Structure 1
Amino acid sequence: MYTTYILLGSNLGDSKKYISDAIAEIAGRLGTINAKSSLYQTASWGKHDQPDFINQVIELKTSLNPEELLKGVLEIENIFGRQRLEKWGSRTIDIDILLYEDQIVNDHDLIIPHPYLSVRRFSLMPLSEIAPDQVHPISKKSITELLLELTDDLYVKRLT
């Protein structure tokens, strides 16, 4: 089994339900969920004229390789009506593979670690909650270290 960290986000409709339902689909199709961060309300990143997001990171144990995992993630996004109309636009669900073991993947359709992981507070904060000592395979820094060095100051609030 391989350990991977996945970020879920939504800013359309009942975002909390979309995330919860997507996590259930992930557990049913892709592997076993070992940990879940809190939910976070976050300012939109990259495109600011849209509603805040709800984000959550999960730790998934899977037997799938990165390409198979990506295929499964995209299928789940389609189930929930994900439409890719504009870069960083609003969405019912967004599922990103942040890390997959200590692997580095740089294919046309898949980049691991996620190329924006180390510069996005909304990714690092929930990830640091469940995997603070996890090491980024390129920078060789822990998630905690990356969070401490982060210059992104967009709003990120942990929800209770």
Structure 2
Amino acid sequence: MIIGLGNDIVDISRVDEKLQRRILTEEERKNKGGKITKEYVAGRFALKESYFKALLRGLSGNSFQDISFLNRIDGSLYAMHHRYKPSRNGLYNYIHASLSHDSFAFATVVLEKLHGKVFLGIGTNLGNREENIQKTIEKLSEISKVLSVSSIIETEAYGKTDQPSFLNCVVEIESNFAPDELLNELLRIEREMGRVRIEKWGPRIIDLDILFYGNLVIKSDVLTVPHYDFENRIFFVKPMYELAPNFVHPVSLKTVREILDELENKASKSKS
């Protein structure tokens, strides 16, 4: 379902490069690399104006620093949220953006809500691990609709290896919360399950991670989505492959199937 649509057009010749201080985020400056041009500033201005229009909010209550529009290595465009705001029409979990240049910069942004497409990782290596996972899924079902649950797999501890092995699975939910709100709910569930954060990568009764929130890319002080190390963690990738093998990572544009193949090939080479 389309939640919002916005477009904007900017005359590049009328843009002052000094506007970059107001328009561009630090991520966008780094992404550009070389000299910041009028064309680049005009394009980001048009994209952000389009985004605000898609939110049905205009600039009121929003900031040009709330979102970055970045280019992948192949030049394709994606958005990175630094502060997520729902549209006046509701939550969205997909954002689509396009930009064209000539003497004008023309941008379009579409916000979309697709059913489900929010994937969470669950891990545990203390106590009754199977029971921990079951209780956690029950708690998740109290705050959001659980659409699918992968098989449970057992893997050795990652990062800090001198601890018991983990049971892991992935669930897909229909989120009733914005990403930061969902994070707060997951932290609450962890606390209710008895999790105490003492040591990074240490043993834990339960661990809940937001792996993906649709195709949104989020980088804020409290949240990074997709999970920053998803593509290296077999205990995320393998269960998610079971649920959504063709799901596309919004930054690398690799499917979960491709990511799993790469991990398994790497593991096979390391053994030979």
Shared fold (TM-score greater than 0.5)?
A: yes
1:49-98 per-residue CA deviation (whole Å, 9 max, x = no partner) reads 00000001000011211001000000000001111111110000000000
Where does residue 237 of structure 2 map in the other structure? 124
1:30-59 per-residue CA deviation (whole Å, 9 max, x = no partner) reads x11111100001110001100000001000
Query: In 2, Cα distance between the equivalents of 1:57 and 1:133?
Result: 15
Where does residue 156 of structure 1 map in the other structure? none
Would the aligned equivalents of 1:10 and 1:18 in 2 still touch at CA under 8 Å?
A: yes
Where does residue 5 of structure 1 map in the other structure? 119
RMSD: 1.2
Query: In 2, Cα distance between the equivalents of 1:94 and 1:65?
Result: 20
Secondary structure of the equivalent of 2:132? helix
Q: What letter matches 1:47 in structure 2?
A: K
**Number of matched residues?**
152
Shift in Å, 1:4: 0.4
Would the aligned equivalents of 1:9 and 1:95 in 2 still touch at CA under 8 Å?
A: yes
State the identity %.
38
Shift in Å, 1:2: 5.0
Of the structure 1 ranges 128-137 and 1-10, higher mean CA displacement relative to structure 2 is found in: 1-10
Would the aligned equivalents of 1:2 and 1:62 in 2 still touch at CA under 8 Å?
A: yes
The TM-score normalised by the length of structure 1 is: 0.92
Query: In 2, Cα distance between the equivalents of 1:137 and 1:58?
Result: 19
Would the aligned equivalents of 2:124 and 2:133 in 1 still touch at CA under 8 Å?
A: yes
Q: Max radius of gyration: which structure?
A: 2
Where does residue 115 of structure 1 map in the other structure? 228
Where does residue 133 of structure 2 map in the other structure? 19
Q: What letter matches 1:67 in structure 2?
A: D
Query: In 2, Cα distance between the equivalents of 1:100 and 1:2?
Result: 9
Would the aligned equivalents of 1:44 and 1:53 in 2 still touch at CA under 8 Å?
A: yes
Compare relative contact order (CA 8 Å, sep 6+) and give the higher one, 1 or 2: 1
Query: In 2, Cα distance between the equivalents of 1:144 and 1:108?
Result: 31
Shift in Å, 1:147: 0.9
Secondary structure of the equivalent of 1:150? helix
The TM-score normalised by the length of structure 2 is: 0.55
Query: In 2, Cα distance between the equivalents of 1:14 and 1:116?
Result: 27
More helix by share: 2
Would the aligned equivalents of 1:105 and 1:111 in 2 still touch at CA under 8 Å?
A: yes
2:176 to 63, 78, 81: 63
